[in-house]
Amino acid sequence: MFLKIIARQTRHNWVVALLIFLAMTALVSLYVYSKNTAAFSNRSMQLVMKNMGHNLLILPKEADPQAVYCGAEGLPLIPEDTTTQMSKSLKLASRYYVSVLQETVDVAGHSLVLTGIAPVARKDESREKRNMVLPLGADELRLGSEAARKLGAEVGSSLKILGKQFHTVEILPPKAGIDDCRVYMNLATCQELLGKEGQIQYILAFLCLHAGSLEKALALQEEKLSSDFPGFRQIARMDIAEGRYLARLTTSKSLRYLLAIVAAATVVVVAVTGLQEVHDRRHETGIMIAMGVSQTYVVGLYLVKTLALALAASVAGFLLGSLLAVQFTTPFLVVNTRPVTFLWTQFPAVAALTCAVAVAAELVPIAKLLSLDPSAILTEQ
C-alpha cells in the first residue's frame, strides 16, 4: 500500500513530480556533461602541453645548460643507468624520463645535432602517457623540421649518417629552437656511432604538478633530487609547467563553481516545491495520523517519492549529459588516447550525488511536515 500511495499520488500530482524531476535532471546532466568534457579537455590540454616538450631538464651540477640549448660541445658524461635509478625513485615527482646523448655532427654537409634518445618509464606510469616520446628502432630517425628541410628528407626517405643507413619515420613540427635542428635516433645506436657506450649527458623529464601550487611542487622536487641524487640539478621550463597547471584549473576546477550554483538552485526548487506539497497534502497527512500511522511512515511517503524521482533523474541526466558531451565536443576535442564517450563507471557516483541533493532539499519540507498539528488540520473550517 505504501508504494501504491506514492505511485498514485505522484501520478495525481504529476506537475510537481515533473518539476522536481526536471530540476534534478538538469543538475545531473550538467554535472555529467562538465565532468565528462572537463576530463577530456583536461587530457587534451595535457597532451598539447606535453607536445611542447618536457618541462624538466636534469643534468650534472657541473654541466653548462647552454651547451644543451645550443647543441654545443663540452657536456660531461654520466652513466646511462642514472635514468633507471631515477625512474625507480618514486619519491621524485618527475616521470616520463628520457635519457639523452647529443653531439653536433656534419650530415651531408650540414651541421646538425645528433641526439640519441631512450624513454625510461616509471612503473606507475599509465600506458597512454608513456607515448610522450616514442622510442626509436636501431635504424630509425626522427627529424626536427629544419634538419629535414636541410637534408631534403621526407617520412620514409633513407639517410646515411656517420656511415650507417637509416630511414626517416617522423618529421617533427617546427618549434623555432635548437630542437628543429636535431636528428633523433635510438640511444644505443647513437652511443655506438659516437663511441660512448653506456653513457648519456642529461635527462629530460616531466614534472606532474599535484602539490597544490607550482612553487610547492618544484621546491619539493628540488629537495628530493638533492637528497637522493646530490650530483644533479634541475631546470624547469616554467611556461610549460604553468600552462599545464592552468589547463587543469580552467578545465576542472572552475566548472565546480558553476555546478555548485546549479546544485543550490536545484535544492531551492525541490525544497520550495516540497514545502508547497506538504501544505497541499496536509489533510492527507492529518487523516493518516488520525488512523495511527507513525511519523516515520508519513515522512517515508515524501522521502521515497523524492528519492525515486532522484534516481530517475540521475538515469535521465546521465544519458542526456553524456550524449551532449559526445555530440558537442567530439568534433573539436580530439584525444586519441581517450575518446569522449559514456563514462558508465561514473553512474553510481552520479546516482548517489543526486540522492544526496534530493535528501538535502527535502530536509526543510520534512521539518515542516513534522511540525504540523494534525488536530488543527482536521478541524480546519
Partner 1 sequence: MIEARNLTKTYRSAGRPVHALEGVDLDVAEGDFIVIHGASGSGKTTLLMALGGMLRPTSGSLAFRGQRLDRFAYWKRARYRKRHVGFVFQKFFLLPYLTAYDNIRMSLSLRGYQGDRKQRIVDLATRLGMADRLTHRPSQLSVGEQQRIAMARAIAAEPEIILADEPTGNLDQANAKTFAKFLTNENRQGRTIVLVTHDTSLLDLGNRSVELRSGKLCASA
Q: How many residues bind partner 1 (CB under 8 A)?
A: 27
Q: CB 375: neighbour CB atoms within 10 A? A: 10
Instruction: Provide the 3-class DSSP secondary structure of residue 98.
Output: strand
Is 126 a residue that touches partner 1 (CB under 8 A)? Answer: no
Binding piece for partner 1, criterion CB under 8 A, among 11-19, 42-50, 200-208, 339-347: 11-19
Angle at 184 between CA 181 and CA 188, to 5 degrees: 145
CB of 195 or CB of 292, closer to partner 1? 292
Binding piece for partner 1, criterion CB under 8 A, among 41-49, 90-98, 125-133, 278-286: 278-286
Is 13 a residue that touches partner 1 (CB under 8 A)? Answer: yes
Q: Give me the residues paired with residue 107 across strands.
A: 110
Separation of CA 134 from chain center: 21
Is 1 a residue that touches partner 1 (CB under 8 A)? Answer: yes
Shortest distance, position 289 Cβ to partner 1, whole Å: 7
What distances in angstroms separate CA 190 from CA 83, 117, 169, 173, 193, one per listed residue?
A: 17, 8, 16, 22, 5
Shortest distance, position 380 Cβ to partner 1, whole Å: 8
Question: Residue 249: enclosing H or E segment and its boundaries?
Answer: none
CB of 14 or CB of 69, closer to partner 1? 14
Shortest distance, position 23 Cβ to partner 1, whole Å: 22
Is 288 a residue that touches partner 1 (CB under 8 A)? Answer: yes
Nearest to 280 by CA among 13, 19, 24, 20: 13
Q: CB 366: neighbour CB atoms within 10 A? A: 18
**Which member of 77, 155, 287, 334 binds partner 1 (CB under 8 A)?**
287
Is 53 a residue that touches partner 1 (CB under 8 A)? Answer: no
**Which member of 85, 111, 254, 294 binds partner 1 (CB under 8 A)?**
294
Instruction: Name the amino acid, one letter, at 103.
Output: E
CB of 17 or CB of 27, closer to partner 1? 17
Instruction: Name the amino acid, one letter, at 305.
Output: K
The number of C-alpha atoms within 13 Å of 13 and in the hemisphere containing its C-beta is: 18
Is 371 a residue that touches partner 1 (CB under 8 A)? Answer: no
**CA–CA separation, 256 and 279 (whole Å):** 34
CB of 244 or CB of 282, closer to partner 1? 282
Is 300 a residue that touches partner 1 (CB under 8 A)? Answer: no
Shortest distance, position 2 Cβ to partner 1, whole Å: 8
**CA–CA separation, 252 and 263 (whole Å):** 17
Is 5 a residue that touches partner 1 (CB under 8 A)? Answer: yes
Shortest distance, position 283 Cβ to partner 1, whole Å: 5
Cell 612553487 identifies what position? 215
**Which member of 173, 230, 292, 331 binds partner 1 (CB under 8 A)?**
292
Nearest to 312 by CA among 269, 351, 263, 259: 351
CB of 9 or CB of 251, closer to partner 1? 9
Is 131 a residue that touches partner 1 (CB under 8 A)? Answer: no
**CA–CA separation, 116 and 149 (whole Å):** 20
**Which member of 125, 192, 242, 284 binds partner 1 (CB under 8 A)?**
284
Is 299 a residue that touches partner 1 (CB under 8 A)? Answer: no
Contact of 315 with 344, CB cutoff 8 Å: no
Residue numbers of the site for partner 1 (CB under 8 A)? 1, 4-5, 8-9, 11-13, 283-284, 286-295, 297, 373-375, 378-380
